[in-house]
Amino acid sequence: MSQENRTNLLDGFKAFLMRGNVIDLAVAVVIGAAFTNIVNSVVKGVISPVVGAFGTQNLDGYQLCLKSPCVVEGGEVTSGVAILWGSVASATLSFLITAAVVYFLMVLPMAKYLARKAAQEKAGEPAVAEKTPEATELQVLQEIRDTLVHQRGGSDSAAAGAVTR
């Protein structure tokens, strides 16, 4: 591979990495991994005890034996043919809880915020950031000058007018 091809390949890879959606995806993966710990804690500390009040806290123990004798040790079938439907139910319950938490704590509030913002823009109201425009340095200096002139009694108003652009 020639030096020019390597340079083009590296430049293309650098451009790919610097695009915003790749960075956003990386942030989403990191936050998702951290969020998984929260959801697992909710399942272990809240949902499992509630399920345990009606049956057992550990759904992984439920199974259906198709060919006896079924022996399951550490989540692995050592003899017989067993369908471990309890682990499927546990994973499904964890998924539903995760989806509900993401929807109600992230998606729904963001959708309401975006709808409110779109309604404000449609009504002609400026967005919150547009309501308080930043003063430029020149405007601030002119206000300071005008205040100083006013404090002196207005005697330098001709000089003040000459300074403005």
Bridge-based pairing state of the strands 76-83 and 64-73: antiparallel
Q: Does residue 47 have a pLDDT over 90?
A: no
> 156 or 44, which is more confident?
44
162, pLDDT greater than 70: no
Contacts 24+ apart (CB under 8 A), 135-138: 138/165
* pLDDT score for 114: 92
Average pLDDT for 104-108: 84
Instruction: Examine the domain organization and report whether 53 and 90 are in the same domain.
Output: no
Q: Do 124 and 100 touch, CB atoms closer than 8 A?
A: no
Q: Are residues 62 and 49 in the same domain?
A: no
Q: Give the confidence band of 127 by pLDDT, cuts at 50, 70, 90.
A: low
Give me 123's structure tokens: 């009504």
What is the model's pTM?
0.48
Dihedral angle, C-alpha 130, 132, 137, 142, nearest 10 °: 130
Residues 6+ apart with CB under 8 A from 89: 59, 62
pLDDT, average across residues 115-143: 76
Structurally, how many domains does the chain consist of?
2
Can you tell me the mean pLDDT for 24-35? 83
Q: Is residue 151 part of a domain?
A: no
Q: Which domain holds residue 11?
A: 1-57
Q: Which helix (H) or strand (E) holds 92?
A: helix 85-102
